[in-house]
């Protein structure tokens, strides 16, 4: 199985996790929502697959480029 890392495009914090480990996702599905400077930015799946890992928790700060989740295809 191929895996794909989903990385943060911004520095901020995890406002809400929408999907859970084991969920199937389609391309462009929202996995979680980050908050930065009072803006909510969705983190989207870049490919169809299944969530293998979520590496952050709600409320946790994240850095630009940090791996947030791992998808299996």
Residue 13 in this model has a pLDDT that exceeds 90? yes
Domains of the chain, with CATH numbers? 3-72 (2.40.50.100)
17-57: pLDDT as tens digits: 999 999 999 999 999 999 999 999 999 998 999 999 999 99
**pTM of the predicted model, to two decimals?**
0.94
Q: What is the mean pLDDT of residues 48-69?
A: 98
- C-alpha 19/C-alpha 46 separation (Å) is 14
SS3 6: strand
pLDDT at site 1: 78
Helix, strand, coil share (%) of the chain residues, nearest 5: 0, 55, 45
């Amino acid at each position: 199985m191929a895996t794909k890392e989903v990385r943060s495009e911004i520095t901020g914090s995890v406002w809400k996790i929408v999907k859970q480990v084991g969920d199937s996702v389609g391309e462009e599905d929202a996995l979680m929502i980050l908050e930065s400077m009072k803006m909510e930015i969705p983190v989207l799946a870049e490919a169809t697959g299944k969530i293998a890992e979520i590496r952050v928790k709600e409320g946790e700060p994240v850095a630009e480029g940090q791996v947030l989740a791992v998808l299996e295809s």
